[in-house]
């Protein structure tokens, strides 16, 4: 069953994506889902466009849906998408799917088609796309928060160690007492 009862604000950081090695971000704000017990969000991408899992940081279920813990509150999601190899240029769309279940157990599904223009690098430079400053700000905030959010024992391993190396100098003419005692001339 699909009803158009839900409102969302969905915006790209820029209105286009480079066809090869391109990157863009999609910001999604879904208004509070009153009367909903459970909600799931899923992004369906065209072939050749991938979701940057490290950027989102959301846990997904076996169907690739993000479970929303508190659907009665405003939901904000930020997705990074990218291309690796060349994909066909032209217009395409990303589909945002929101599945909900109310307190009576009845399920609803809402889908939004979000248009996206795929262009080559030369065209991207010529068009000089206008950036959505609010989305760009949210991307920067998320990037700044990411190391603090990882937490746990692996968080230190993920960070780059930039401490200076300890310099150990060896003087061949000086030997410790143990070295003198066990030194074998060869």
In Å, how far are 7, 8, 34 from 74, measured between CA atoms?
Answer: 11, 10, 10
Q: What is the pLDDT of residues 59-109, one digit of tens each?
A: 788 888 888 877 888 889 999 999 999 999 999 999 999 999 888 889 999
pLDDT at 155: 47
pLDDT at 114: 95
Please report the DSSP string for 109-132 in residue order: EEEEEEEEEEE-HHHHHHH-PPP-
In Å, how far are 13, 25, 119, 146, 178 from 129, measured between CA atoms?
Answer: 10, 14, 11, 27, 71
pLDDT at 6: 65
pLDDT at 94: 95
Tokens read off for 100:
């909900």
The answer to whether the predicted template modeling score (pTM) of the entire model surpasses 0.75 is no
Residue 126, phi then psi, degrees to nearest 5 = -65, -40
Q: What are the residue ranges in the chain where pLDDT is below 70?
A: 1-6, 54-57, 146-164, 186
DSSP β-ladder status, 107-119 and 16-18: parallel
Integer-rounded Cα Rg, in Å, for the chain is: 26
pLDDT at 156: 46
Alpha carbon distance 42, 96 (integer Å): 6
């Amino acid at each position: 069953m699909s009803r158009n009862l839900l409102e969302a604000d969905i915006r790209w950081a820029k209105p286009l994506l480079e066809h090869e090695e391109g990157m863009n971000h999609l910001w999604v704000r879904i208004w509070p889902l009153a009367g909903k017990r459970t909600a799931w969000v899923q992004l369906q991408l065209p072939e050749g466009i991938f979701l940057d899992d490290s950027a989102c940081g959301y846990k997904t279920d076996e169907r690739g849906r993000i479970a929303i813990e508190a659907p009665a509150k405003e939901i904000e999601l930020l997705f990074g998408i990218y291309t690796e190899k060349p994909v066909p240029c032209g217009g395409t769309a990303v589909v945002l799917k929101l599945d909900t279940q109310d307190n009576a157990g009845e399920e609803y599904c809402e889908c939004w088609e979000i248009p996206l223009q795929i262009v080559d690098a030369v065209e991207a430079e010529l068009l000089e796309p206008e950036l959505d400053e609010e989305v760009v700000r949210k991307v920067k905030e998320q990037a700044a928060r990411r190391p603090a959010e990882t937490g746990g024992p692996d968080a230190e391993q993920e960070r780059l160690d930039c401490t200076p190396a300890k310099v150990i100098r060896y003087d061949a003419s000086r030997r410790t007492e143990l070295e003198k005692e066990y030194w074998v001339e060869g």
